Structure 1
Amino acid sequence: MVQYKAGQRVRYRPIGRRRSDTSESTGVIKGVLTEPGMQAGRHVDASNHTPRYENSNTGKRSSVYEDNILGTISGSQNVEIPYQYLRNLASPLRMVTNVSEPMTKLRDIPTESLILVLEWLGKIDLQSLIVSQLTSKQFHAVVQDVLANAQNRSLRQDSLSGEKPAVHPLWASKFKGLFNSADCFTEADRREFRYQTLDELRDGGYLTLDGDFTLPFRRLPWARTGLGRAAYLRLEASWRSLSLTFGQAPITQLDLVKGYYYGNIFGDFHGDRCDFWEYYQVDVPSSGLTMGLFYDVLLCEGASYGNETLGWELLLGKRLRSYDELCEYERFMADDPDLVEAGEKARQAAILCVRGGSIDEVDRLKPDSGTWIPRIIGKKTPKLFPWQGPEPDIRG
C-alpha cells in the first residue's frame, strides 16, 4: 500500500523495462492526478493501480503511461507523476498538490508570465509554439504577440553582431530543397551517375531539374499528402508571416541573378557558365524577407525560367557589388569579391541565383493529372525591379 504525496521522494521502475530488470530510478512526486472517486492522498494498492488523468475540456480519460510520462507503479514502489510537458499542459488537467486545493491551470496564470513561458518555448521549439495556437483563442492571441515581439526584437538587433545569417532550422527541415534545389535529390537519383556522390554532382552542376521545375516543392515533407498540403498552403498559415531567419536580424535586401544557357546542359554546363545574365532586386518590406514571400518569389514567373529552370540557390549574407563589373564580366561567380560583397555590410542581404537552359523535352504537368501543381499563395505577385547597383545601407 502506498500514499501519493506531493514533494515526496520516491523510487519507481520506468515503463517498458522487463520484469527481470530490478533496477529502479528516483524522482519527486510533483502532483497527484485525480480520477472520479479518488481523493488526494488516498491509499491505493500500488501493484494493481495505474494513475489516470482526465482532460477537463473533453472528459477523455487516459492512463499516465499512455502519454509516456515516466512510468506506472511497479510492485510496492511508488511512481513519479511529473508535471506534464508544456504542449500537453495547453489542455488543462485536473491535478491536486495537497489534500483539497486544485492546481492552477496554465491558462490561468498572468498573461505576462505566460508570455515569458511561450517566449522560452519559441527559442527551443518554434513548431510547438506555433501549434499551441490551436489550443484556444487566448493562446492564439498570446502566441501571435510572442511571435510579433520576437520579430520586432530581431529588427532592432545589431546586424554587425558577428553572427552568421542562417535559415531557421524549422524552415530548413520543413522546406528542404527550396533554399538549394539540388537538396531535393535523393540517393536513388544519384545512382544514375555512377561513382559520384551527391556533393560531387551538385558541385559539378549535373543535378538539374531537367524540365521538372516543381520537383523541389512536390518533395517537401508536408506536400506528400493532401492533408499536409491543406495545412501549409493556407494564406493565413503562420509560417508565411515569419522571418526566413527567425531569431536573427531579418533579410532586408534580396538580389536576384538569372542565368540562361543554350548549350547541352549535361555535356558542359557548369554553375558559372551561362550565355545570358539578368539582375533584379526583389521588393522586400522593411520588416524583412518572410518565408511566405520567399516561397512566392520562387514561383513567380519573373524569377524563374518555368520548366526550363535548371536549379536555384539562396546565398545568405551576400549582395551584388557593382553593376558595371557584372556587365563587363558577363558571368556571375558567387565567390568573386569583385562581383559579390560579403561580410558585415551584407549580413542582412541575400542573393537568389537561378539558372536555366534549353530543354529538349518538357513534360508539363496538367491540372487533371492528379499531381499537385504548386502555385503562388499570396494575393499579390512579388515585385521585381531591375538591379542598377547596391543599396547604400541595407540595415532596416
Structure 2
Amino acid sequence: MTAADELRDRVGEKIRFRGADSVTQNDIRRKLEVFTFSCPLHDDEAAAKSHGYLGVVAPVTMTPLWGLPPYWAPGQPSPYLADGQEMTGNITDTLALPFSRSVNVSSEWQYHTPLYLGDRLHGTTTIISVEQKRTRVGTGIFLQYESEYLKDSGELVALNRNTVFNYDASTPRHEPGTSARTQQGDRGPRPLQVQDTDIRVDWTTPLEFDDVEVGAEVRGPALALTYQRIVMNIAADRMFSGIHHSAAAAHAAGLPDIIFNTRGLETLFETGLRRWMGLGGRLVHLGPFKMSASIHPGDVVQARWTVTGKHAQAGAEAVDLQFGVFAGDRQAVQGIATITLDGKSNANQSSVGEGGFP
C-alpha cells in the first residue's frame, strides 16, 4: 500500500489538536506590527467593550496561531535534525505525506465566537479527500481537510476548509542564482518606495449599512515586502516551512524565491477591511479563495474588493464582497468574503452562516 493509499484510508478520520499557548497581547502586537497596523479593538480594552466585546479581541485571521501545538515538549527527543523532516506548523506535519513538498492552494473560513486574551484553543481536523494529479509543477496529491477550532469552554471559534498540494517538483524552473531576485543576495531586491505605515483612520465614524453601495470598489493600503518582513510574518504565525524563509528551499520547490504565506494574505485582507468597515464591522466568512500566483520579496501587495451584495442574514446586516490580492498589476489571490456591520449587537454571538461548510 502506498502512502497516498494510506491517506485515502484515513478520509473521515478526526485528528485532535490542542494549541500550545493562550491568546496574548504580545502575539497580537507582533503580528500587526508586520502590517504597520493598529486598531482599538486589538489594543484598547475600553474601546473594545464599548463596541460590545468582553475585552480586547484578536484579529480573526490569527485564529490558527493559537491552534498550533508545540514544536517540542519536555521529555520528547529533539526534532531539529539536520537531515530530518522539516516542520511547517501545519496539521500535515502529523500525516505521512507521500511527496516531499507542500503548498497551500485554497482556503475558506467561517468565524463565529470572538477570541479574547487568555483564551485557549483545541479542536479536530478531518481529512475530506485525497486526489492524485499531475500538474505543471510536479506530480502529487490534493489533500483537502476541515478544521474546527473550539475554546476550552466549548464555544465554536472558527471552521476552516483547506486544500494543500503535496508534490515532488519537476525539474526546477529557477536555478539558484539565476533569477533577478537571487542575484541581489540575501538582502533581496529593494521594493518600490511606498508609504505603507498605518494610515490615519477615523475610528469614531462607523461604516453604516445604508452608506454601502453595491458595485463600490475599495482598495486597502499597499504593503512593500522585503525578506525581513516576510520572515517576521511567518515567525509571528509560528509556521516555518522553508519556502517562506529559505531561498534554497524555494528553488528546490521550483520557485524563484521565498513566498509570502497564506496567513499573511489573510491578515492583509482583514486589516484593509478593518480600516474600511470601522470598529462595528465583523469579518464572518472569508473564502473560498485561491492562490493563483506567488508573492515574493520586492513585491508591493494590495488587497482590493468590490461590494457584490447587501442583505439581512440571521438578524444581521450583511455585505458580500469579491476580493483580490495584487502584486503590482498581477493578481495573486481571488475569492469572496462576507462582513456584518452590526458588530456591537453580535460581538458575543455566533456569526452568520451557522453550521459547517456546504
Task: Give the TM-score of the pair, scaled to structure 2.
Answer: 0.25
TM-score, normalised via structure 1 length: 0.23
Q: Which has the higher strand share?
A: 2
Q: Which has the higher contact order (CA 8 A, sep 6+)?
A: 2
Q: Which has the larger radius of gyration?
A: 1
Higher-helix-fraction structure: 1
